[in-house]
Amino acid sequence: MNPLEAQLDYPFGDTIPAPGALQTVAPGLAWIRMPLPFALDHINLWLLADDLDDGAARRSGWSVVDSGAGTDATRAAWEQVLAEGLQGAPLLRVFATHCHPDHVGLSGWLAGRFDAPFCTTAGEFGFARMMAAALPGVDGPSAIPHFERHGLTDPSMLEQMRSRRNYYPSLVPSVPEAYTRLQDGDVVSIGGRGWRVITGFGHSPEHASLYCEELNILISGDMVLPRISTNVSVFAVEPEGNPLQRYLDSIGNLTKLPEDTLVLPSHGKPFRGLHTRIAQLREHHAARLAEVVTACTTPRSAVDIVPIMFRRQLDAHQLSFALGEALAHLHKLWYDGILRRTKDADGIMRFQLA
């Protein structure tokens, strides 16, 4: 446990669900953990006891928040959960906090299998559909000119990134064709309890966290994680974006919840200490911004900033996120008027103190 983690309270200690098993978090709320084929090797999913009137009859079962990536290992784990953990009870609704592959990868498979409504925000549904279809602008090759404009010239790395054309569709084989919209402030009844939708921005287009006042529990998705900082990137599809400012504003809104809220994150372990963790995240980004300001006493591209922010060797997958995050910090400083941006003769964007 690092020093920042030690400032948080982990009510379940080091206990985590066994593969394919449920761990009770609160009455009618269970935690399952699915494998991921990345350095970040797991995602937490949340099962909520539910009942739903489908017009013909009232049915009892479970609803799930997020679905895991579309891999054979996750499907196998789901089969075990459905057969043993839920003992054949159906899934009534499939919720998605946001559009990233580990969150919606098996949404189509689960929703189709149980004829269950797919519930998410309009922004997340639209982006999931676009990326699953590999539409121009959000497919892998569309990122190449974006990265080149911000200083990536290594031919080998560029070729590795081009080869990621099918990255998203390979992990998200299908997204439901219709959805039930979640909007900020909506209160969704799940198993007789009200869960308020709290949207957040910067990490994804319209991320939905869910808060139950009765239980004082926040299903935070990726907006607040206990051990790592959420990726906040400028992507090719929104090249002039200011996602870091949007993210900081969004986590600021979460301080309206009680400090002793039990936070159920998508990665890591459930914890208490929401305000403490938000303060840590703010301090983290303030420190990164200060590093970028110091570096930009001379003109710097986003590629120049990556080794300042990420002091380790990065593969193509990791570099794509690191580049996006370096650019997010540069853009915040640019929008704040601290940096100025120029396009040099080589076509590369560089930033320098204004």
Q: For residue 221, what are the β-bridge partners?
A: 265
- pLDDT for res 39: 84
Going by pLDDT thresholds of 50, 70 and 90, the confidence category of residue 56 is: confident
Q: Which pLDDT score is estimated for 57? A: 78
pLDDT reported for residue 8:
97
- Mean pLDDT calculated for residue range 91-120: 98
By CB atoms closer than 10 A (0-12, 13-18, 19+), residue 180 is middle
Predicted pLDDT of residue 313: 86
pLDDT on residue 201: 98
How large a percentage of the chain has pLDDT more than 70? 100
The yes-or-no verdict on residue 54 having pLDDT over 80 is no
Looking at residue 330, its pLDDT comes to 98
- The bridge status of strand 207-212 relative to strand 217-221 is antiparallel
Rounded mean pLDDT of 227-236?
A: 96
What pLDDT score was predicted for residue 149? 97
Task: Report the mean per-residue pLDDT for the chain.
Answer: 95
> How confident is the model over 62-102, as pLDDT tens digits?
999 999 999 999 999 999 999 999 989 999 999 999 999 99
Q: Tell me: pLDDT of 38 over 90.
A: no
Residues 284-337: tens digit of each pLDDT: 999 999 999 999 999 999 999 999 999 888 888 889 999 999 999 999 999 999
Tell me: pLDDT of 6 over 90. no
- Give me the long-range contacts of 77-82 (CB less than 8 A, separation at least 24): 77/19, 77/20, 77/32, 77/34, 77/35, 78/34, 78/106, 78/110, 80/19, 80/20, 80/21, 81/20, 81/21, 81/22, 81/32
In terms of C-beta density within 10 A (0-12 exposed, 13-18 middle, 19 or more buried), how is residue 62 classed? buried
